[in-house]
Amino acid sequence: MSRVHVTCTINGDPAEFLCDGGQTLLDALRDEVGLTGAKEGCGTGDCGACSIVMDGRLLCSCLVLAPEADGRNISTVEGMATGDDLHPLQQCFLEGAALQCGVCTPGFLVAAKALLDRNPDPDETEIRYGLAGNLCRCTGYDKIVRAVQAAAQTMNES
Amino acid sequence: MLSAMKYASPTTVAEAVDLLGSEPDARVYAGATDLIPQIRAGRPEPTVMVDLKRIARLCAISSNGSTHTVGAATPTADICAHDGLAAAFPGLVEASGLIGSDQIQSRSSWGGNLANASPAADTPPSLIVNDARAVIAGPGGERTVAAADVATGPGTTSLGPGEIIVEFELDEPPARTADAYLRLIPRTEMDIAVVGAAARVTLDGDGRVAAAAIALGAVAPTVVRVPDAEAALIGNEPAGDALAAVEAAAAAATNPIDDKRGTVAYRRQVAGVLARRAVSIAAERAARQGGQS
């Protein structure tokens, strides 16, 4: 059957790809566009490893059909750094060792950025609730929360 | 997976109804937070996914002063950020905010929550105590039914072939009226209700209950109204014996299952406790409103 032609914006750049009608946006980003930052963990919207932002909304790309992206503005973890300059969240995750195996990290970074975009100075409880949709199998939550706090501080001081 | 499906994104209700009638295995695709996991778990693939989210009417929130209208596919994140809805229906908005993570909040909706017909869904009890009406469109045109009459059992609804929920209508509550919703889950986030309890209370000028509605989720195949608890409140202050009667009546009204989240006995007891507390919170909110009017 014929494939669907999708035209959208990804990380600020115009993008287009072909996908199947029933392909998830996660699979299309990884397999058609070549952006492999978003990961498939559960495939059911529970773990957040596939988190992206579409038209300003944080969501699980495993629960989105790829054709829905037509005309939309998508942000993925690949768009967070500016050239070689890491985003403060990425820098703080690195410095604070807020990752162990790393599979959940792109999703946590995207979700944490969405949280800070909405609430630049969250307290610990707000961070924990804000990241409740992201699971870390290595259970490194404490360092992740500290890294988000440090990044918020860095961003608010600059 | 999912590769053989077609995807359609109508921009009008009429177009969506036509598409849903065009193929026997066409399915509504809104937030898909339950639909895609169900298909992954082995449920037969639809032939066409009909995306409702590009129909403006299904994603709009409006009010004409006496009636609030909320599109059936409006993300609960938008509902929770809406000051007018939070002021008029604090409990319904709380229930909306309890659905899943921030990621899920971007996609979950009242229409999906109701039409998916999970007995444990969070918003139907609150929609029901607020007498919400569902506007349904189908091949025969539009009809309006009580939200309470949409779900008929676990995973089953009264929606006919090709019918979709377009929007919900909620009348602006009378003076000294407020609602509340409480849910018990085994953890603090990201789980399914063991019991959910919604209450709405209207107080008279003397602080006695003039009208009450109580509805329980996750304790029967569909949402359970508790008329005995409502009757016990009328004419009384929401305290003491009246609240004890609410607790007893709510526990007695349940018909729960045993599962990993709770036993029958546990669900019965928790239903009584949450109903009593939800009534108290709703009454406190209603009383605070009264002080301002």
What gap in Å lies between CA B274 and CA B132, rounded to an integer? 22
> CA B292 → CA A23, B30, B176, B244, distances in Å?
54, 40, 9, 29
Q: What is the pLDDT of residues A49-84, one digit of tens each?
A: 999 999 999 999 999 999 999 999 999 999 999 999
CA distance B6 to chain A (A): 5
Q: What is the pLDDT of residues B246-291, one digit of tens each?
A: 999 999 999 999 998 899 999 999 999 999 999 999 999 999 986 5
What gap in Å lies between CA B88 and CA A80, rounded to an integer? 39
> CATH 3.10.20.30 residue ranges in chain A?
4-79
> CATH 3.30.465.10 residue ranges in chain B?
1-172
Q: Which of B70-74, B136-140, B189-193, B210-214 has the lowest mean pLDDT?
A: B189-193
> What residues of A are in contact with residue B31 (Cβ under 8 Å)?
63
CATH code for the part of the protein at B1-172: 3.30.465.10
The token pair at A87 is 């985003």
User: In the prediction, which pLDDT does B293 show?
Assistant: 42
CATH code for the part of the protein at A4-79: 3.10.20.30
On average, the pLDDT of chain A sits at: 96
Q: Are A22 and B2 within 8 A, CB to CB? A: yes
State whether the Cα torsion A92-A98-A102-A107 is positive or negative. negative
> CATH 3.30.390.50 residue ranges in chain B?
177-292
Task: Indicate the pTM of the whole model.
Answer: 0.95
Relative to beta strand A4-10, strand A13-19 is: antiparallel
From the list A48, A63, A115, which residue is nearest B32 (CB)?
A63
**Preferred mutation among B36, B48, B103 to probe A, highest tally of A CBs within 10 A:** B103
Residue A7: is its pLDDT beyond 80? yes
Q: Which residues pair with B243 in a beta bridge?
A: none
Q: Where are the beta strands (DSSP E) in B77-176?
A: 133-138, 141-146, 151-153, 156-157, 164-171
What gap in Å lies between CA B30 and CA B50, rounded to an integer? 8
> CATH 1.10.150.120 residue ranges in chain A?
88-157
CA angle B63, B66, B72 (to 5 degrees): 45
What gap in Å lies between CA A79 and CA A83, rounded to an integer? 9
Q: Please give the CATH superfamily to which domain B177-292 belongs.
A: CO dehydrogenase flavoprotein, C-terminal domain (3.30.390.50)
Q: For A65-95, what is the HEC assignment?
A: EHHHHCCCEEECHHHCCECCECCHHHHHHHH
Instruction: With beta carbons less than 8 A apart as the criterion, state whether B247 and B276 touch.
Output: yes
What gap in Å lies between CA B193 and CA B99, rounded to an integer? 10
What gap in Å lies between CA B138 and CA B149, rounded to an integer? 16
Q: Are A114 and B1 within 8 A, CB to CB? A: no
Average pLDDT over residues B199-221: 97
The token pair at B147 is 């939200």
Q: What is the pLDDT of residues B222-249, one digit of tens each?
A: 999 999 999 999 999 999 999 999 999 9
Q: Are A132 and B101 within 8 A, CB to CB? A: yes
> What residues of A are in contact with residue B33 (Cβ under 8 Å)?
45, 63
Q: Are B101 and A134 within 8 A, CB to CB? A: yes
Instruction: With beta carbons less than 8 A apart as the criterion, state whether A98 and A92 touch.
Output: yes
> What residues of B are in contact with residue A58 (Cβ under 8 Å)?
102-103, 106
> What residues of A are in contact with residue B32 (Cβ under 8 Å)?
63-65
CA distance A74 to chain B (A): 14
Element holding A54 (H helix, E strand): strand A51-54
Q: What is the pLDDT of residues B26-67, one digit of tens each?
A: 999 999 999 999 998 988 889 999 999 999 999 999 999 999
Residue B2: is its pLDDT beyond 80? no
Length of chain A, please?
158
Average pLDDT over residues B154-166: 96
CA angle B186, B191, B196 (to 5 degrees): 75
- The answer regarding whether domain A88-157 maps to CATH 1.10.150.120 reads yes
Q: Which of B13, B3, B10, B11 is nearest to B46 (CA)?
A: B3
